[in-house]
């Protein structure tokens, strides 16, 4: 089935008891058994919930995987992957990624004896060089948040396979509509479903998608044992969001291209980070592994003082000043003080994330209004 059809039909069986076309919100904590151990496959809602199962089967289908597991947030999904590891294990991670992932790795898992090596994964050789006998996991994000760097998933997957190391790809920025890492050799795909999957800025949720049976069993065990499961109402919302993912993403891509080109041609803009430009260092790889370039981008101004950046950040009307991304409405964000404040300043600067960088999540409004809003704010 083509992706657009899958988005609408995957996981959606009419409700067996009533024929309801939409999966009901099974707002229940437990399920009645006919006799001890005799039941319909549902015992207790932390372990099994029909609304969550419908969502998980939709997520697996649209990410071109066999299994999916939903979590109460994106970081809870990341946390579940880290729980596969033992003290003494090493993780190779991208040096430009979501601040909350960096915080979880360095502030929570370091103290349990897991070691992290951060490197520029846009050069696969760096990952190869960082591999040691203790390496158990490679964690990458592509495109990255907020600098839109591109890592070659197939190249990293080949390195991971040779070293017998798991590769997990945070696919939040691309969404399953633009990129499917499992098809490129990744072992696990992670999403913050809070973003494009839900698409309406009304839910916090995460998920993991994988093909391997044993890996699925281990992660399901962690999901039910540690308990970071999403509630049925939230599962319903993400399931509904997925039904329009393809049409939303097409418009995010169109508007993203228009806004990126507008910014690049603006006399007061210094640099635009967007992976759809032919002279973007990752363009060839992006073209190979993505179906479009999305609506995420960052830019700097020629007057690169923090005050000037803050002036623009406070002057837009349609672009709301807020963390998060991937909703139908456009957002503007200051990574240094908002989404990436948990990364130490020297680390940020080393990786090119300056104090004056502005990030946009371009929504699906009319592009003329978006350009007009930015034009007035940049002044």
Ligand X SMILES: *Cc1c(COP(=O)(O)O)cnc(C)c1O
Contact 253, 366 (CB under 8 A): no
Contact 6, 62 (CB under 8 A): yes
Task: Report H helices in the chain.
Answer: 3-9, 50-62, 74-82, 99-103, 124-130, 153-163, 175-178, 213-226, 232-242, 245-264, 283-289, 306-313, 345-350, 367-378
Among 135, 145, 308, 330, binds ligand X (CB under 6 A): 145
Among 75, 188, 215, 272, binds ligand X (CB under 6 A): 75
Residue 182 and residue 207: Cα distance in Å, rounded? 14
Judged by CB under 6 A, the stretch of 14-22, 188-196, 262-270, 279-287 that binds ligand X is 188-196
Is residue 46 among the annotated active site residues? yes
Residue 199 and residue 238: Cα distance in Å, rounded? 8
- For ligand X, the nearest residue by Cβ is 74
Is residue 310 among the annotated active site residues? no
**H or E stretch including 360?**
strand 358-361
Query: Closest approach of Cβ 7 to ligand X, in Å?
Result: 20
Judged by CB under 6 A, the stretch of 31-39, 67-75, 210-218, 232-240 that binds ligand X is 67-75
Exposure string over 322-354, b if 16+ CB within 10 A, otherwise e: eebbbbeebbbbbbbebbbeebeeeebeebbbb
Query: Closest approach of Cβ 76 to ligand X, in Å?
Result: 7
CB atoms under 10 Å from CB of 41, counted, come to: 8
Contact 47, 31 (CB under 8 A): no
Residue 66 and residue 87: Cα distance in Å, rounded? 29
Among 106, 122, 180, 194, binds ligand X (CB under 6 A): 194
Is residue 251 among the annotated active site residues? no
Name the token pair of 246: 């393809």
Note whether 73 binds ligand X by CB under 6 A.
yes
Catalytic residue among 98, 102, 109, 273: 98
Query: Closest approach of Cβ 221 to ligand X, in Å?
Result: 21
Query: Closest approach of Cβ 79 to ligand X, in Å?
Result: 9
Judged by CB under 6 A, the stretch of 71-79, 83-91, 234-242, 263-271 that binds ligand X is 71-79
Judged by CB under 6 A, the stretch of 165-173, 253-261, 303-311, 348-356 that binds ligand X is 165-173
| Nearest to ligand X of 172, 255 (CB atom) | 172
Judged by CB under 6 A, the stretch of 94-102, 221-229, 308-316, 330-338 that binds ligand X is 94-102
Catalytic residue among 52, 136, 195, 248: 195
Catalytic residue among 79, 96, 152, 170: 170
Contact 85, 219 (CB under 8 A): no
> Which DSSP letter does residue 96 get?
S
Note whether 96 binds ligand X by CB under 6 A.
no
Query: Closest approach of Cβ 35 to ligand X, in Å?
Result: 40
Among 56, 63, 90, 141, binds ligand X (CB under 6 A): 141
Note whether 149 binds ligand X by CB under 6 A.
no
Residue 77 and residue 379: Cα distance in Å, rounded? 41
CB atoms under 10 Å from CB of 61, counted, come to: 21
Taking residues 98 to 117 in sequence order and writing x for each that binds ligand X by CB under 6 A, - otherwise, the string is x-xx----------------
Is residue 248 among the annotated active site residues? no
149-150-151 Cα angle (round to 5): 125
Query: Closest approach of Cβ 172 to ligand X, in Å?
Result: 4
Among 172, 223, 255, 333, binds ligand X (CB under 6 A): 172
Residue 219 and residue 161: Cα distance in Å, rounded? 20
CB atoms under 10 Å from CB of 80, counted, come to: 24
Q: Peptide bond before 194: cis, by omega within 30 degrees of 0?
A: no
Note whether 56 binds ligand X by CB under 6 A.
no
Contact residues for ligand X, defined by CB under 6 A: 73-75, 98, 100-101, 141, 145, 170, 172-173, 192, 194-195, 204, 206
Active-site residues, by number, are: 46, 98, 170, 195
């Amino acid at each position: 089935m083509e992706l657009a059809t899958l988005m609408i039909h995957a996981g959606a069986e009419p409700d067996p008891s009533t024929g309801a076309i939409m999966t009901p919100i099974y707002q229940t904590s437990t399920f009645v058994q006919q006799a001890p151990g005799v039941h319909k496959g549902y015992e207790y809602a932390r372990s099994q919930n029909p609304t969550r199962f419908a969502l998980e089967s939709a997520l697996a289908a649209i990410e071109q995987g066999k299994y999916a597991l939903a979590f109460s947030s994106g970081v809870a999904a990341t946390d579940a992957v880290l729980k596969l590891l033992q003290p003494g294990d090493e993780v190779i991670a991208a040096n430009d990624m979501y601040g909350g992932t960096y915080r979880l790795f360095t502030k929570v898992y370091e103290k349990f004896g897991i070691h992290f090596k951060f490197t520029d994964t846009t050069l696969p050789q760096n990952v190869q060089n960082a591999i040691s006998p203790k390496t158990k996991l490679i964690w990458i994000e592509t495109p990255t948040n907020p600098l839109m760097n591109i890592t070659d998933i197939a190249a990293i997957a080949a390195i991971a396979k040779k070293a017998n190391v798991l590769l997990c790809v945070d696919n939040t920025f691309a969404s399953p509509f633009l990129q499917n890492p499992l098809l490129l050799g990744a072992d696990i795909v992670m999403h913050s479903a809070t973003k494009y999957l839900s698409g309406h800025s009304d839910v916090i949720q995460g998920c993991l998608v994988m093909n391997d049976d044993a890996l699925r069993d281990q992660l399901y065990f962690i999901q039910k044992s540690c308990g970071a499961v999403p509630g049925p109402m939230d599962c319903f919302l993400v399931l509904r969001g997925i039904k329009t993912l393809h049409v939303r993403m097409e418009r995010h891509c169109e508007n993203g291209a228009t806004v990126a080109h507008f910014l690049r041609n603006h006399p007061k803009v210094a640099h635009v980070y967007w992976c759809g430009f032919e002279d973007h260092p990752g363009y060839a790889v992006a073209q190979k592994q993505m179906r479009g370039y999305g609506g995420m981008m960052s830019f700097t101004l020629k007057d690169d003082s923090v005050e000037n950046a803050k002036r623009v950040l406070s002057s837009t009307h349609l672009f709301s000043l807020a963390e998060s991304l991937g909703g139908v409405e456009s957002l503007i964000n200051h990574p240094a003080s908002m989404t990436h404040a948990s990364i130490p300043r020297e680390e940020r600067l080393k990786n090119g994330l300056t104090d004056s960088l502005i990030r946009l999540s371009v929504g699906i409004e009319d592009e003329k209004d978006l350009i007009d809003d930015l034009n007035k704010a940049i002044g």
